[in-house]
Amino acid sequence: MDTLIHWLQSPWPWYVAGPIIGLMVPLMIWIGNRSFGISSNLRHLCAISQPKSIGVEFFQYNWREQNWSLVFAIGAMLGGFLAGVVFANPEPISLSVAFLTQLAIWNIPIGEGFLPPVLFGFYWQSFVIMFVGGVLVGFGTRYASGCTSGHAITGLSTMQAQSLLAVLGIFAGGLIAAHFITPNLIGGIKP
Amino acid sequence: MKRFIPYLLAGMLFGFTLVKSEAASWYRIMEMFHFQSFHMYGIMMSAIVTGMIGVQVMKRFTGRASLEGTPMEIPKKESGRYKFVIGGMIFGLGWGIIGLCPGPIFTLVGMGSVGALFALLGALHGTWLFGALRKHLPE
């Protein structure tokens, strides 16, 4: 029992986590002939909350048919709660020495949890950054009709050229942000 | 309601794995974009290989009934070209700043992260903005 709890608390190596995530693709086909992906829920949530008077066509469809996808997202939230709160890893995240050095150069202190304290904490700058970053994520994933799960995992698993284009775009954007934007943006917040 | 249980369990496994693999961590994403650890690349590559094998297996069952009764087939994406590259880049820019893609946004909200909640609110506004501007954007 102690071994099981220890295993549930410790971080999983890539060769355990990767295959589980990859299994989502055949699993979702088997459950109900669905395409594995999560970002379309953002569209469904907009469709649910859009007032009739506004009526953007993109959000006028029967979202009730996509209930399964919302249930999947609720499951992901519950899974996050179990893994991150109930079976939380008591140890600090073990990052590579190279990256720890990089963080020190950026002057970003490491705290508990998955976001650095400057982004996690209650500073107005953090909320603005998380919100604006979220806008880019929401806009981009819908424009590209998929995110990391829908394009990188499902799309590449089924060898679709459009998904390769999307993944190249995602990676290019991520490199630009991580190298030129983020260090200046976050290093500037003084908690 | 019973038909939703498999989706709930699959989502829970997905969310649990995102947290346990630390793929939902800002630090791991930055480490990946700076090529300072193999961890995230290992996750992505082994996930794609597993997915590919899984899809090949499922191809043998094409047309047969899924658990829900609908016939199974291999998913297809929509047509277009620019939207994948430009949309992907815009998403990537956001990902490289907040270190969260949509899956981790949902899982971290489940963990009670206020930062992720702001990211979710932003993502909903971004999605809405796209829906409103869609007709003016190149396909």
Binary contact (A137, B98; C-beta < 8 A):
yes
Q: Using an 8 Å CB-CB cutoff, list chain B residues near A63.
A: none
Determine the 3-state secondary structure of B24 from DSSP. Answer: coil
pLDDT band at A191 (very low <50, low <70, confident <90, very high): low
Render pLDDT for B31-62 as a digit per residue (tens, 0 to 9). Answer: 999 999 999 999 999 999 999 999 999 999 98
Rounded to 10°, the helix B114-133/A124-143 angle is 40
- The amino acid sitting at A18 is G
Determine the 3-state secondary structure of B61 from DSSP. Answer: coil
Task: Given the cut 0.85, state whether the ipTM is greater than it.
Answer: yes
Assess contact for B90 and A140: CB atoms under 8 A.
Answer: yes
Least Cα distance to B62 among A33, A87, A160 occurs for A33
Determine the 3-state secondary structure of B131 from DSSP. Answer: helix
Average pLDDT for residues A35-45, to the nearest whole number? 96
Q: Which of B97, B100, B114, B118 to probe by mutation at the A interface, max A CB count within 10 Å?
A: B97
* Residue B87 pLDDT: 97
Render pLDDT for A101-148 as a digit per residue (tens, 0 to 9). Answer: 999 988 888 887 888 887 766 778 889 999 999 999 999 999 999 999
**What percent of chain B stands above pLDDT 70?**
100
Q: Residue B56: how many CB atoms within 10 A of its CB? A: 13
* Residue B1 pLDDT: 81
N- to C-terminal Cα distance for chain B? 38
Residues 36-65 of B with CB under 8 A from A: 36-40, 42-52, 54-55, 57-58
Task: Tell me the H-state helices in chain A.
Answer: 2-9, 14-32, 40-49, 67-81, 97-106, 117-120, 124-143, 156-157, 161-176, 182-187
Average pLDDT for residues B82-106, to the nearest whole number? 97
pLDDT band at A188 (very low <50, low <70, confident <90, very high): low
Could you tell me the CA-to-CA distances from A87 to A60, B25, B40, B60 in Å, in that order? 40, 16, 22, 38
Is the pTM higher than 0.90? The answer reads yes
- DSSP letter at A12? P
Residues 86-125 of A with CB under 8 A from B: 93, 95-96, 98-99, 102-103, 110, 113-116, 119-120, 122
Render pLDDT for A158-185 as a digit per residue (tens, 0 to 9). Answer: 999 999 999 999 999 999 999 999 988 8
Q: What is the mean pLDDT of chain A?
A: 92
Degrees to nearest 5, angle at CA A32 with A168 and B128: 50
Q: Which two tokens stand for residue A9?
A: 């608390």
